[in-house]
Every structure is written in structure tokens, then in C-alpha cells.
Structure 1
Amino acid sequence: MPITTQGEQVAGVLESLAPDGTPLYPTVAILMPRRSTKTTSIWNVLLGRCYAHPGYKVVTTAQDGIRARNKFREVQRALDAFGFKERGLGKLYWGNGFEAIEWANGSRMWVVPPDAAAFRSEAADCMLFDEAGELDEATSEDLVAGALPLMDTRPMGQVIITGTPSPRRAALLWDTLQEGRDRKKRDVGIVDYSLRDDEPSVLYPDGEDSEPVLNEKLLYRVHPGIGTLTTIKKMRARFAKMTLVKFEAEYFCRFPTDHTVTAINPAKWDTARAEVLPVRPDRVGLAFDVAPDSSAAALVAAWRDEDGRAHIEVIGYRSGVAWLPGAGKAAAIKHRCAVAYDVIGANTNPADTMHRSRVQVTGYNIRHQQGAQQRFVDELDRENLTHYDQTDLNLAAEGANWRNVNEGGRLFGRKASASDVSPIVAAALALWQYDQVPDRQPMKIRTTATR
């Protein structure tokens, strides 16, 4: 199989060792465009390991059992054409569902469907998840929970996750790439040829209303196969026939933006950060929100200054819900205002408790919630919002993702998010509540003049 510069990069990441001789990156995600020898490079490494290290075991899968076997058989056919058996290297097994490559030195490779139970039948030194971008979220969760922990007991174990972007920014390939990009996990390595979100895949040389043209300068940077494995002429032809979203996924390795993307822009959130918490004004909007499992709750205040800039403060974020009615009542009395909440199941009991203690509460439905959350994001994007670097609010903003509702609508996803979004949900609703209530006018005292 041919060796390329990008292939050497793939091998370099896969073969990197820590000082103790174990893999520097026990988990590796590889994202490269079509026609850039991504799969060939990975298989070069794995075949080399099986040849060089007696008894080395590799189990591989793809997006489903049939396509996993088809991928595996491509490699088997290449080995068969090479004379694998005739040279005394081993045997090839072609049985439907029992495909395997067995070396004379005891090494073995076999293929299974993407099912965690299939990986438990026999221990392996390496797991290869090919076309992982095609795995849905449920399958990804199953594999992460059931298959990947099997590598914890193998000092030289390595998991390789590769593919091209899926239609959604979710599941195994996307999540692993994000871990590598964020550098939060030092044991996750990535080979990442992809277009950043702030880079345009097309240009409009004659103005925004003109026909877009391919940004070839960026394509050359992202696609290492142009000039060796494919040509720019072929790329232009593909661009002319494919939708932009499809072309970006296949050849720029950009995951499409959809309603599962991060709801809060990290750069804008950093820009909105202030360190010194001011004295809260008398007039604010108040709102609370409870996590769906009632494990925690948030009480948040929001207001605008004289320039119309929004300000957000978390009054309280604590585990459980028992503390919330008392805290809500104290805040409502102090600021002489109602407390807003989203009329979902987990919020109804604390709202009723507040109501029975003579606190005015205002419930908002899904339509209002959409408006509140869109306004919150708009204020942030316009750099017209300030928050005060509160940890709970930061974590909620960092983990918040969108979820689809009704026809084309969206809300902060409670299940789809990486952390509890209660503080950010309450913040958006508190600002909405503030904007719904007009300023309290100073009382005018009328006097009657007497002679």
C-alpha cells in the first residue's frame, strides 16, 4: 500500500509512545477528506502491528454489520492478491459474518457489527471504528458504555475512531474530535484535516448575490490528497454537482451546523464576562428552573442598565429542590416582583409551593421559552450582555446545545446538553420577565394649595 505524507502523520500519532512504553494516545480520532488515504494509512499501521508483534489482536467495525464486512473484505482481497497465504503469512477466512485474518505468528484481525456485546467475545489490543461518523447517538452511547471500557485492562490497548462528518454534531466521532480539539483529555490524539467554522468554504467575488465559487486556497490546505490521489479539476466537478453541505462534509470535513450545535458562542461568552459583581438593582426579573430529574435547581436575576445592556446574576444554584421556594420568596419580597418559571413537570411543585406562600409566580409556555432563549442568544451575539463569571452559569453555557421543537423551533436541550442547563434556562427567562414588566414609575403626590 502506498505511503504518503499524511499517512506518515497518521502513523506518527497512532505509534507515539509515552515514556513507559504504552501508547501516548490510547484513543485516536482521525478526520480526513475522501480520497486522502485515511483508511489505507490506518490499515497500513494495523497490518504492520500484526506482522511485527506476534499475538497482536485487532477487532474492527463500521456503521453496520454489512458495511463492516465489506470494508474488511476489501483488505482481505488486497492481501489475497499479494499472496498472503502463499507466502506463509497466514490464512484468510471469508465466512459470512466470520471474516478474519489470522497470521502464522498468532496475530488476528476480525470484524464485528457495531454492537458492544460483539466486542466482549474476545479481548483485543486495538479497536477500529471505521466510518464512525455514520453511527447514531444511541449506538455510540452503547459502544462507549460497553465496548470502550474493555480497553482499560490492556496496557497497550488503543481505540481508533475514524470517518467523515455525519449530518449531526453528535455521537462518537464528533465527541472524540471535540475532546482532542479542546485538549481536555491528554490521552486523546487527533489527526484533524478540517475546515474551521469561521472559515468560508465558498467565496462571492461579485458580491453576496452572485454565484458562489469554491474557496480553493482553503481546499488545498484541508485536503492532502489533491495533486497526488485526486485533482483540483475533480474537486471542481464534485462541487458543481453536490450540495454545499454535502461537499463540505466530504471534502472539507466540516460537520454541518444544525440544531444540535453549541447554543452559546464560547468567544461571545468570554467577551461578556465581568469579574466584579455589582450591587443588584431594586428592579430585576426573577426566574427559576429545575433539572428534569430534580437533582438541582437555579434561581437567577436579570436586569438592564440605563444603556439597555442586559446583566445576569445567579442568586442560587444548589442540589435538590427543597431550598428553592424559600429562596424564591425572599428574592420576590426583596425586589417586589413575580418569579417566572417554565411550565414543565419539575417546575410545577416549587411554583405551587411559592404560590401557596403568597409569592406571585408567572408560568411561561414553550412559545415564550423560545422567544426568551432566542432573545438571550441575540443579546449575547450583539455583545449586549454581561455575566459575572459564576461557575455554575459558565458550565451551563459551555454545555448548552440546541434541540428541535415543533416545526423549525429550538430550545436549550436538557438531555442533549453536556451539563445541566438550568442556570442558563432561568437566566433567559429572567431577562424575558424583566422586559415584560414596565418600569415602576415614581409615585406622584398631589398637593392642594390653601389660602
Structure 2
Amino acid sequence: MTTPESRTEELREQLSRLYGLECVPRWGTPRNEDRKTYGGKVAKYAAALGTPFMPWQRYVADVALEVDPDTGLLVYRHVLLMVPRQSGKTTLQQALMAWRACAWPRQGIVYTAQTRNLAREKWEEEHVEALKAAPAVWKRVKAVVTANGREHIKFHNRSRWGISANTKKSGHGPVLDMAMIDEAFAQVDNRLEAAFGPAMITRPQPQLWIVSTAGDEDSEFLNFKRQLAHDIIESDLRLASRFCAFDWTPPDVYDRTDRRVWRAVMPALGHTQTEEAVQAELESMAPADFDRAFLNVTSVEQPEPDKNVPSQEWPGLVDLESKRGRYVALAVDITPDRQYACIAVYSVREDGLEHVEVVDHQAGVNWLPERLKQLRDRHNPIAIAIDAKGPGGALLLELEEDAERLKRENRPSGLSRPKNPDKPAWGDLAVPTAADVAAACGAFTDACRPPKDAPDDEAQADDGHDDGAALVVDGEFEVVSEVVLGTIRHLDQLPLNLALANAVSRPLGDAYAWGRMKSSGDISPLVAVTLARWAYRARVHLVVQAYDPLANIW
């Protein structure tokens, strides 16, 4: 089975070998080396126009212009290209349109941008001027018509290169062989595609290019095409699809200040861009604006802070020296789309404070069973928590089926729930109920918030309830008190920090739980540390008292 990691590594090896390209798109159609391509011819036009291709541009041109060996026609009818701003989209488009106009007679080519005025401005000031500056190409031009509403470049072979407006009547007219929808983030709907499609239907090898940097939540046309491209590339459909795509964007978890992230998503870096220039933009731009422009990340409107999520308190709980205590509990959580999974650990430190930590946060889910067994054998945890009512339900079923199989084969035991809930063993699975999940989320929030001021002696009444020391020590055996406030400590790990920033709660009865579907990003690290904390507190008194020989030594 092809995984996101293996797919990316295969593409990385190919692009490095063919183009010396180390900046690999997160989603990219690979080059089919059994097919011929017109990419080399377009590269010659780019050089003639004074903008020699960068490696990423040559890769895109080679793949997009592959030729079907059976028909001799272009393989791909639709092309999606998404790269950060100022990466070289315009120079690639110019070379493509110039080549197409000259390659065959009577080619209809149209260019669109956010508005008709912007399309005309770019066509007149960049496209036409680039052709004029390239004598080898300009000699093929018969005339440039600038009359309002009739703007086009006419070639001696009767090809036409014009512009179109973003209206319901756009594209209705002469047949088209190449349509270039530039800055597609600004398209409010699919009206251009709906108009261009019929104009291309009778042509032997038409291409519709959708070119853009990421937009925002209102960029419905682009966002739909982007998700469609991802689905195709991640499935076996990519082998037969007539839709190719190239999307440079970081993983869901990233650090915008990390230059390694820049080098992974900015294919023009080191060619037409410098890290110093990007750093200057980072320092002057709002984070969301920088992410959209330079990391090609869709801008999402941030909701009002959720009062149930301790995001404001979280930075103050950093302790880079924090270490696990004697006993630990583990938990696992998976994102709803099963693209990422997280394993976290919870422990009570020697000083009574609580330690939470992300152990693993990786793409996919197939790595989880073996990794959980490794951690169980290495750390002998009090429990391993999995929420059966969430995306982890399938994992729980797989683990318990595997445990039954190993038992029948008289092999080392797998992972399963305890036979007797009142007598769990070390490393048994802990599966919370809905009420447990709600209690765990509320208790985690409380544990992140500072202690309330104690009432004075006169106001204080002994009601028999303990609002809780952080730690009760019973001989050698640690027990966390029922209510612990302000005692969580973490290592400032980026996946966990981002999970807190992305998290939104959802109602669960009269309480709340972390909302995987409602949150703006991957919150599996937050869910995992919350469940690990619950598992520790639910099982520590049952497991340690029953099995620790030191528990009764005074």
C-alpha cells in the first residue's frame, strides 16, 4: 500500500535524479518516464523569453505536457499548479502560451486573472513586452490588437492569444485550445471553467490550467480543485487520471520561522528568492498573511477563543527540563481523516507536578500497532488509552483481534482490554466512556489553570472535600489527587502547541470534549495527552497497589 511518506520519497528521488530538484511538492504528479514530453520545447521558449526555467518549472512543464504514446496527443486535460507567491508562475505561463501559439496553427489561447482589468494589465505590460524582447518569438507575431474588448496577439499561423473577463459570458465564443486561469483564489465560483469546457470540447488536445497561490475560505473554486487534486494523487486514480497537479505546501504541523520549512515549500528559493528577503517579509507581515503568500497555506478565519481550551495559560506551563516520573500512561489519537496520528505520555513528576509529552506524531496510521507494542514493552505503562468512539475505534478493533490471534498461537501477548476491569494489568488498554472523555477534558483544562486564592481562615470551612494537593505520597506509591489545578508542565513541543491553538470544544452532555471535526487543524496531540492523563488517574491505584511489591513497604 502506498503511504504519503513513501509517495513523497519516491517523488523526491525522481525529481532529484531528473532535475536536481530538492524542493518537492507535498502533492505532485510524478513524471511518467515512458512518455515523451513537450516540456523541453517549452523550456527553449522560456530561455528565448529571457527567463530560463528553474528546476521546478521544468518538472511541471515536463509532466503537464506528456504525450500519450497511443494517440500522440497530450495526456493531461486539466492542470492545477499551486506555489507560493513570486515563485515564477508568470514566466512559466508566458513560456507555455508562447509555445502553444507557435506549436500548431490556429490555436485559441485565453488568459484570465482576478478581474478583466488586471488580466489586461498583465497581458499588455508583461506578456506582450516579453514577446517583444524575444526576437526569435516576436517574428512569429503578426499583430497586437489593443482595442478594448478585442485584446489579442495575432500570430502568422493564425493562432490568437487573448484575455477574458470573469463574468458569466466569459469563454463563450471561438474554440479554445489552452485556457489559463491565473490567481484562481479570486474566482468566486466555477463560471470560467463552465464556460471554457464547452469551448474546448471539440479540440483534439485542450488544456485548462488553474494557477494560484492559496486563497481563503471564500476561494470555493480553488479549494474544491485543490482537494480534488489531493484525492486523485492519494488514490490509484492518479495512474489513469487526465488531471495532473503540483501543490507546494507544508505539512499540517509546521513552524513558519523555520528556514527548513521554507526550503521545503518555496521552489524558487535560492534561484529568484533569498532567505534574507523572506525573513524580512516574515518580520513585517501578519502570520496568516505570511503563511498564505509564502507557504501557500489557505487562510482560515480564526474563531473567538474557546473558553474551555486553556490556550492562554499554555505558554506559561512550559518547562524544558520537565521529565517523566516513575510511572507513565500512554494514549493514542487519530485525526478524523486518518492522515495523522499521535501517541502521548503522561506522568507525575517527583515534585508532584504533571508531565505531558508527545512521543510520536506521524502521518498515516499503519505505524501505530507496532509502535504501541514497542512502547508498552519498553516503558511498561500503567495503561494505554484509546477512545473507541472516535477515529481510534478501528485501531482498537485491530489491536484486540491481533491479541486474540497471538493468544491462540501461544505467542507474546498483544494489546487488549483487561478481562476484569477491577484488576487491570500493566499495559492493558483503557477505553473511556463518553462520560470519562468529558470528565477528562474538563479536568485537563482545570489542571492547566492557576490555583484559586485560598480563602482566609475565618471564611474557610471544612466541608470534607479536598481541593487538592498536587501529589499524595503513600510510601513509594504516587497518587494524584482528584482535583489538581495549575500543575501541568510540557516541553513546548510544536505539535502540542499547535493542537492547543487549533482546538475547539464541542458539547458532550452537560460538559464538553475536544471537537476533532470542529477544530481548525490537527488536535490529536491534545486529545492524546488528555486521554493519557485520564488513563493514569483511572488506573494508577488499581495497577500499582496490586502489582508493585514496594507499595506496602513503609
Give the TM-score category using the shorter length: 0.5 to 0.7
Which residue number in structure 1 is paired with residue 379 of structure 2?
A: none
The alpha-carbon deviation at position 34 of structure 1 amounts to 1.8
Which residue number in structure 1 is paired with residue 66 of structure 2?
A: 16
Equivalents in 1 of 2:168, 2:293: separation in Å?
28
Which residue number in structure 1 is paired with residue 472 of structure 2?
A: none
Pair 1:373–1:113, CA change in 2 (3 A): farther
Asked whether the 8 Å contact 1:239–1:247 carries over to 2, the reply is yes
Pair 1:271–1:181, CA change in 2 (3 A): same
Residues 85-117 of structure 1, C-alpha deviation per residue, up to 9 Å, x if partnerless? 973532111223321111101111110101242
Q: Does 1:5 align with 2:64?
A: no
Which residue number in structure 2 is paired with residue 297 of structure 1?
A: none
Q: Does 1:126 align with 2:175?
A: no
Pair 1:145–1:55, CA change in 2 (3 A): closer
Which residue number in structure 2 is paired with residue 159 of structure 1?
A: 208
- For structure 2, the 5+ residue unaligned runs are 1-48, 304-334, 342-389, 398-429, 437-504, 521-554
Equivalents in 2 of 1:72, 1:309: separation in Å?
60
Which residue number in structure 1 is paired with residue 161 of structure 2?
A: 109
What is the letter of the counterpart of residue 271 of structure 1? G
Identical columns (%): 22
Pair 1:91–1:244, CA change in 2 (3 A): same
**What secondary structure is seen at the aligned counterpart in 2 of 1:153?**
coil
Which residue number in structure 2 is paired with residue 87 of structure 1?
A: 139
Pair 1:306–1:30, CA change in 2 (3 A): closer
2:110 to 55, 59, 74: 59
Pair 1:372–1:93, CA change in 2 (3 A): farther
Pair 1:54–1:258, CA change in 2 (3 A): same
Asked whether the 8 Å contact 2:185–2:221 carries over to 1, the reply is yes
1:1-400 to 2 correspondences below 5 Å: 1=49, 2-3=51-52, 4-19=54-69, 20-73=71-124, 74-83=126-135, 87=139, 89-136=141-188, 140-168=189-217, 170-183=219-232, 186-201=241-256, 214-258=257-301, 265-267=337-339, 270-273=391-394, 307-309=432-434, 371=507, 378=514, 381=516
Pair 1:234–1:54, CA change in 2 (3 A): same
**What TM-score comes out, normalization by structure 1 length?**
0.56
What is the letter of the counterpart of residue 394 of structure 2? R
What is the letter of the counterpart of residue 214 of structure 2? P
Equivalents in 2 of 1:100, 1:168: separation in Å?
34
Pair 1:94–1:239, CA change in 2 (3 A): same
Pair 1:222–1:402, CA change in 2 (3 A): closer
Q: How many aligned residue pairs are there?
A: 282
Equivalents in 2 of 1:114, 1:192: separation in Å?
24
**What secondary structure is seen at the aligned counterpart in 2 of 1:90?**
strand
Which residue number in structure 2 is paired with residue 316 of structure 1?
A: none
Equivalents in 2 of 1:310, 1:170: separation in Å?
39
Pair 1:97–1:308, CA change in 2 (3 A): same
Equivalents in 2 of 1:242, 1:128: separation in Å?
29
What is the letter of the counterpart of residue 67 of structure 1? L
Asked whether the 8 Å contact 1:84–1:91 carries over to 2, the reply is no
Residues 14-68 of structure 1, C-alpha deviation per residue, up to 9 Å, x if partnerless? 2112332333221111111222212211221221121121112111111111111
- For structure 1, the 5+ residue unaligned runs are 202-213, 277-304, 312-368, 382-399, 404-451
Equivalents in 2 of 1:88, 1:153: separation in Å?
26
Pair 1:142–1:373, CA change in 2 (3 A): farther
What is the letter of the counterpart of residue 35 of structure 1? Q
Equivalents in 2 of 1:172, 1:373: separation in Å?
38
Asked whether the 8 Å contact 2:187–2:219 carries over to 1, the reply is no
Residues 311-359 of structure 1, C-alpha deviation per residue, up to 9 Å, x if partnerless? 9xxxxxxxxxxxxxxxxxxxxxxxxxxxxxxxxxxxxxxxxxxxxxxxx
RMSD: 3.4
**What secondary structure is seen at the aligned counterpart in 1 of 2:101?**
helix
What is the letter of the counterpart of residue 120 of structure 1? H
Asked whether the 8 Å contact 2:288–2:299 carries over to 1, the reply is yes
Pair 1:376–1:159, CA change in 2 (3 A): farther
Pair 1:374–1:38, CA change in 2 (3 A): farther
Equivalents in 2 of 1:128, 1:239: separation in Å?
30
What is the letter of the counterpart of residue 22 of structure 1? L
Equivalents in 1 of 2:510, 2:101: separation in Å?
54
The alpha-carbon deviation at position 220 of structure 1 amounts to 1.1
What is the letter of the counterpart of residue 238 of structure 1? E
The alpha-carbon deviation at position 143 of structure 1 amounts to 2.8
Which residue number in structure 2 is paired with residue 334 of structure 1?
A: none
Asked whether the 8 Å contact 1:264–1:377 carries over to 2, the reply is no
Larger Rg: 2
Pair 1:198–1:154, CA change in 2 (3 A): farther
The alpha-carbon deviation at position 370 of structure 1 amounts to 7.2
Which residue number in structure 1 is paired with residue 329 of structure 2?
A: none
What is the letter of the counterpart of residue 57 of structure 2? G
**What secondary structure is seen at the aligned counterpart in 1 of 2:170?**
helix
Residues 153-198 of structure 1, C-alpha deviation per residue, up to 9 Å, x if partnerless? 3330111000111122742222222211111662221121211222
Equivalents in 1 of 2:511, 2:219: separation in Å?
25
**What TM-score comes out, normalization by structure 2 length?**
0.46
Pair 1:270–1:43, CA change in 2 (3 A): farther
Asked whether the 8 Å contact 2:108–2:160 carries over to 1, the reply is yes
